[in-house]
Amino acid sequence: MGVTKTEIFTEEQNRIADLAKAFAHPARVAILQMLIAKKSCVCGDLVGELNLAQATVSQHLKELKRIGIIHGEINPPRVCYCINPPVWEEARQAFGSLIESFNSVSCCA
């Protein structure tokens, strides 16, 4: 049996790649921007504000929840979503460290 691709990378590399998935689709970026702009949990009005189908929004919310960058609270008949601050900070630090690790050196000119 072969090794899965993720197994050859470190836990940190896999986590950074997973966090990057939160920003890898414009609909997910729009959802995150909306949650940030509201500065509170958003309950049920995502579909109307994003002009996307309910199924599309649900799929993106599911992925954002899986990553952990948002969390949802069930208040029947609605689910309220908001940014998960510890995971948002984890993403900020992970991407910041990666981006800042590059020293601008002309190597390919």
Question: What integer is the mean pLDDT of 3-22?
Answer: 89
Mean pLDDT of 45-60: 87
Confidence class for position 85, pLDDT limits 50, 70, 90: very high
Contact of 41 with 31, CB cutoff 8 Å: no
CB 10 within 8 A of CB 89: no
**φ/ψ of residue 83, rounded to 5:** -65, 140
Mean pLDDT of the chain: 88
Note the pTM of the prediction, 2 decimals: 0.84
Q: Are 95 and 22 in contact (CB under 8 A)?
A: no
Q: What percent of the chain has pLDDT over 90?
A: 56
* Reported confidence tier of residue 32, pLDDT bands at 50, 70, 90: very high
45 — pLDDT class (breaks 50, 70, 90) = confident
Whether residue 38 has pLDDT greater than 90:
no
Query: Phi/psi of residue 69, each to 5°?
Result: -75, -20
Task: Return the residue matching tokens 């609909």.
Answer: 27
In the chain, beta strands by DSSP E = 42-43, 70-75, 78-83
96 HSE (CA, 13 A, CB side): 6
Q: How wide is the angle at C-alpha 74 spanned by C-alphas 33 and 26, nearest 5°?
A: 25
Q: What is the pLDDT of residue 54?
A: 87
Residue 2 binned pLDDT confidence (cut-offs 50, 70, 90):
low
